[in-house]
Amino acid sequence: MTAERGISQLADRGQGRCELSGPLTLETAPWLWKELETTGLLTQARAADLTGIAASDSAGLALLLAWKAECRRSGNMLELRGAPARLRALAALTGAEVLLETAA
């Protein structure tokens, strides 16, 4: 297993929209969770663009699933858009692919 090193970025685009880029891994998930809390996006996000995610692992997938759950508890529905193929494949292996699907 090779470690993907790099810096994750969270860009708040306003009105509950944001973009994630860089690695979404065990190494970056704790920082990203804190950023989501700090910006209020942890509970208020409505749409997250994932097209900029360069690498992902099970910790990154777990973060996304927990984020969706936090939003749902707050009465918001978080839509995850543009999940990269590797992240979708990981979700399929764990039975969580429906959580990454974009609403029609």
Instruction: Return the C-alpha torsion angle 73, 79, 82, 85, nearest 10.
Output: 50
- Could you give the percent of the chain with pLDDT greater than 90? 83
For residues 92 and 98, is the Cβ–Cβ distance under 8 A?
no
- In the CATH scheme, what is the code of domain 9-100? 3.30.750.24
Instruction: Report the predicted TM-score, pTM, of the whole model to 2 decimal places.
Output: 0.89
Tell me the angle at which helices 29-39 and 58-73 cross, rounded to the nearest 10 degrees. Answer: 20
Residue 104 has pLDDT above 90, yes or no: no
Q: Say how many C-beta atoms besides its own lie within 10 A of residue 91's C-beta.
A: 22
CA 23, chain centre distance (Å): 10
Residue 79 is predicted with a pLDDT of 95
Over residues 44-63, mean pLDDT = 96
Q: Report the relative pairing of strands 17-24 and 47-56 from DSSP bridges.
A: parallel
Q: What is the pLDDT confidence band of residue 97, given thresholds at 50, 70 and 90?
A: confident
